[in-house]
Amino acid sequence: MDGEEMKNPVIICRCENVTLDEIEKAIEEGFTDLESLKRKLRIGMGPCQGRTCIPVLVRILSRKLRKSPEELLIPKSRPPIVPLPMKMFLVRREEKVEG
């Protein structure tokens, strides 16, 4: 990396502050699919859930691996954990004595 790149890194994921240089380095280290890149760099795991950065990451990966973007596996979106009402965890006193 030259001095200019260090001063003005190209930010790909604004939520998790991941730079182009970090992505390219990770790909060269063998992280060559979207899921492993997400786990290593946390790219796409910020508040926007990758709406901005994942399409750019797909293009970077596509260019580096010389594959079409369609060939690359798109990570599955995971639904948020649904909160459960506390009453589901309460046991009535009568039930506890009987049981």
Q: What does the binding site for ligand FES look like in residue numbers (CB under 6 A)?
A: 13-16, 43-44, 46, 48, 50, 52-53
State the nearest-atom distance from the C-beta of 80 to ligand FES, in Å.
15
Distance separating alpha carbons of residues 12 and 23, to the nearest angstrom: 9
Least distance CB 47 / ligand FES (angstroms): 6
- Choose between 50 and 58: whose C-beta lies nearer to ligand FES: 50
**Exposed/middle/buried for 85, CB within 10 Å: 0-12, 13-18, 19+?**
exposed
Beta carbon nearer to ligand FES, 4 or 24? 24
Which amino acid makes up residue 50? Answer: G
34/87 with CB nearer ligand FES: 34
